[in-house]
Amino acid sequence: MPIILAIESSCDETSASVCIDGIIASNVIATQSIHEKYGGVVPELASRAHVENIVPVVEQALEESGEWLVVNGKLGIGNLESGIGEQQNLNLKSQTLNFIDAIAFTQAPGLMGSLLVGTQFAKSLALALDKPLIGVHHMQAHVLANLIGDDKPNFPFLCLTVSGGHTQIVIAHTPTNLEIIGQTIDDAAGEAFDKTAKLLGLPYPGGPLIDKYAKLGNPLAFKFAEPQISELNFSFSGLKTSVLYFLQKQTVEFIQENLNDLCASIQHTICNTLIKKMKKAIAQTGIKEICLAGGVSANSGLRNAFESLGKELNCKTFIPQFEYCTDNAAMIAITGYYKYLASEFVDLSANPSARAEW
Ligand code: KG4
Ligand code: ZN
């Protein structure tokens, strides 16, 4: 019954989670608000904030999972039951730490300074506790967030991963064997949301705000260029240019008065592009279990379109809970759990990599 402590620090979220035999017992996320005033993530500020956040975040994750163990101690968790049950007054953090079997961390991709904080922390803890280390690919973790909870997809499944840094369609053959069958050749879907939001004068990150205003607007009010890219690949830089040229011809008053319609039309264009490629992927592979992943899967328009696609093509759809869609350590923990079962460990010489090819 492996117990995994996981750490995520690839971008601007410091997060820690404990996974007990495939069940998420805690998932603590500290979001860095310092970047809002700069209109995007400032790497140097992100790594400094990770240094400040990482100890309290890990401590809280250990404490919450300790409480989980106490509450669920009757589930036949063996030595955990007696270990914690008899000494409830003792510090839950250190109690829980004793039961950790391995430490998982995001090894790639991400901002180098941010990754370094999580990597060094995980390596130090592994050395001090003499426990194995598991290096996790952030994009694999977004996909495997779909394996959190009771209602899991069967393998092989298709996953559309849409985040601030990546847009991919993946076939998950097994938890540790993922095949990329389509991806963006320029901007990611999240970037398309954030960059067009910036053009509309909205603060960073603009994706959630576009979603909010789009709910009140007409998605067919304005027409923006939909990219025509071959195979299962995506391109979103043209949409940004198309919105820019359109807005340059408008007054500030026009943009303010039509903000809801503009957001709805931009969101419609992005979602349409994503759904069309997913449709093509289902037709090409014949796979009927389809998942969403990544921060953009929080988008209500995309969630609705994805559910409709499932109904239309008779596919079973899966979308992780909101807290497991944006960056979080629970997805690193569940991936760490499957990598532990597959004996995929790294040693203390492991280094982070900023590159997705890792
Ligand atoms: O996965 P994630 O948390 O971080 C990366 O690994 O990149 O994704 C962050 C992205 C941002 O671009 C953010 O604007 C977008 O997800 N996002 C949304 C929504 N919530 C988050 N985009 C559109 N609608 C949303 N509701
Ligand atoms: Zn992410």
- Per-residue pLDDT of 237-249, as tens digits, reads 999 999 999 999 9
Contact present, 158 and 291 (Cβ < 8 Å): yes
pTM over 0.85: yes
pLDDT band at 91 (very low <50, low <70, confident <90, very high): low
SS3 readout for 42-83: CHHHHHHHHHHHHHHHHHHHHHHHHHHHHHCHHHCCCHHHHH
The pLDDT-based confidence of 333 (bands split at 50, 70, 90) is: very high
- Is the omega angle on the peptide bond into residue 132 within 30 degrees of 0, that is, cis? no
- Per-residue pLDDT, 43: 87
* Residue 83: predicted pLDDT: 47
CA–centroid distance, 170 to ligand 1, in Å, is: 18
Q: Assess whether pLDDT exceeds 90 at residue 226.
A: no
Q: What CATH code would you report for 3-144+325-341? A: 3.30.420.40
Atom of ligand 1 nearest to the CA of 327: 3
The domains of the chain are located at: 3-144+325-341, 152-319
294 lines ligand 1 (CB under 6 A): yes
pLDDT tens digits, one per residue of 102-148: 999 999 999 999 999 999 999 999 999 999 999 999 999 999 999 99
**Which of 22-31, 220-229, 257-266 holds the top average pLDDT?**
257-266
8 lines ligand 1 (CB under 6 A): no
Using the mean position of ligand 1's atoms as its centre, give its distance from the Cα of residue 193 in Å. 8
Ligand number with the minimum distance to the CA of 205: 1
Whole-number Å distance, alpha carbon 324 to ligand 2 midpoint, is 10
Q: Which atom of ligand 1 is nearest to the CA of 189?
A: 12
Residue type, 324: Y
User: Which ligand is closest to the CA of 208, given by its number?
Assistant: 1
Residue 89 pLDDT > 50: no
* Nearest ligand 1 atom, CA 142: 1
Is residue 88 predicted with pLDDT exceeding 60?
A: no
| CATH number for the domain whose boundaries are 152-319 | 3.30.420.40
